[in-house]
Amino acid sequence: MMEKAQEFRALPNPTDADLLHSEVDIKGANSAVEPQNTYDGDEDQLARLGKKQVLKRSFGFWSTLGFSCALLITWEGQLSVFTTGLSNGGPAGLIYGFIIVWIGTLCVFTTLSELASMAPTAGGQYHWVAMLAPKSSQKILSYITGWLTVLGWQAQIASASYLTGTTIQGVVILTCPSYDPQRWHGTLLAWAVVICGLGINTLVSSILAKIETLILILHIVAFVAILIPLVFLGPHSSPQEVFTVFTNAGGWPTQGLSFFVGLVGPVFAFLGTDGAIHISEEVRNAAIIVPRSMILSVLINGTLGFGMLLAMVFCLGNIDTISSTPPTQYPFMAVFAQAVGSNSGGAGMVAVIIFMYVCATTTSLASSSRMTWSFARDRGLPFSEHLSRINRRTSLPLYPIFLTAVFTCLLALINIGSSVAFNDVISLTVGGLYSSYLICCTLLLWRRCTGGIGGSSQDTAQKTGLHWGPFRIPGVLGIAVNIVACAFVIIVIFFSFWPPATPTTAESMNYSVLVFGGIILFSIAYYLTIAHRTYLGPLTEVEVR
């Protein structure tokens, strides 16, 4: 592997002739493996980014869309954070907040889709930052972005497994009144979910793409299966009670401030859209399929999520019953049981949600491990030599997969000591991932406005080596989308560090800002002491002549 930073060359939507006649000089990494079922166009496109094809391209459009939808599971995920917006915003705040978050998320991932189309690599954010940033800050910004993305995804799978395990625990509470819930029970259940995901990602990885397609179908069918009994059997509120009632149970000085604090719930429900980016090197025709699947998944999940949200606020029923839900149980379970008039019936509905949570955890493990592998491939992590290896038999990054599973299980131990502390750790998902989005969106906006990308100013584009991919939003509309994306991400990051209520005590304080700040300081310190000698930006494995 060449020990130098990549000179980022153009990615000018090559024609078929270009792809057939491009001359590729393979330098080859020690861990490189010749994959099966590769595609010349994708390989040459990846070669233009300096990377060698080492993973099997088994994902098509539908499986990639299923992968992205399985990560978002917006309508399922928002059920677990339903009370966050109900306390800070109320029924009306939930609805209007969801719409704002949906639009903002669509702008963010439209922007990231433009970048994914320009450079479809598993590294995603940190690779794009290295492409877009000025040379003077290219390495350090790319390095920090890589750390934020890696740790954000590690926190994502920790939160997914914890959410699944504690939801299973909640069903036991619902159906067995004599059960005495303990925090370590939830941790063990989270471990079981991680082990299940580990088995699917290693033992049956060859059919993972087919599984993701099936999950897409189940995602939509399950929505209908839950919506029908909830709407037809549950109590109904009036439109005035739903669309005009705001609440401020958090005790904030103004209703507007309470509303913004409550936005964190819908934001959490949309997390994971960039997961498709990190399997780009396993997707056929990635420059087109990955952007299309991300945008379509936001539209599909937003539509389903909004429909489920309306059903929940209209069928909320007795607020006192919901409010009396045990702290160890999710209130949406009480809503289900109240709607069908039976705890066992409600448990059956929750079982569908749990299955989708398991699917999301499995998919999160795949995405997180690919991001870890990619950053290690470019020498961004400790023990990169081992983490960047590809298993010759399976063409999988097995070390990152196992490391992610082990790290998730270790994080789950924190819950035994303090569920509050664990929640602060997993809130790094929002802070870490959205910070990486902000850096990418800001740099793209800067390049766009200064004419640094091919198609807007050819002279400047020749100097920077940046060209638009097959997908882009042209002209003023593209600039407007980028601006909205940057503004939305700033708001999300700011309010993700706020506690849910005031006055704040030592127990209710949101310490995630300390975790986030500690990660930033650690990455900078590690870069200045060690990584500045090993991390040179995305390395060149392949040269195109």
What confidence tens digit (pLDDT) does each residue in 132-141 have? 999 888 999 9
Least confident piece of the model among 96-100, 303-307, 446-450, 509-513: 509-513
CA-closest candidate to residue 524, choices 152, 6, 4, 145: 145
Whether residue 39 is predicted with pLDDT greater than 90 in this model: the reply is no
Neighbouring CB atoms inside 10 A of 4's CB total 10
**CA contacts within 13 A on the Cβ side of 350:** 33
Nearest to 107, CA basis, from 261, 302, 276, 275: 302
Q: What is the pLDDT of residue 544?
A: 52
In 3D space, the residue among 437, 443, 435 whose CA is nearest the CA of residue 133 turns out to be 443
Q: Which residue has the higher pLDDT, 420 or 127?
A: 127
Identify which has the larger pLDDT, 4 or 128. 128
* Average confidence (pLDDT) over 111-130: 93
Lowest-confidence region among 237-246, 337-346, 503-512: 503-512
Quick check: 365 and 404 in contact, CB under 8 A? yes
- State the average pLDDT over residues 345-356: 93
**Could you write out the three-class secondary structure of 141-191?**
HHHHHHHHHHHHHHHHHHHHHHHHHHHHHHHHHHHCCCCCCCHHHHHHHHH
Please report which confidence band the pLDDT of residue 6 belongs to, taking 50, 70 and 90 as the band edges: very low
Model confidence, pTM: 0.88
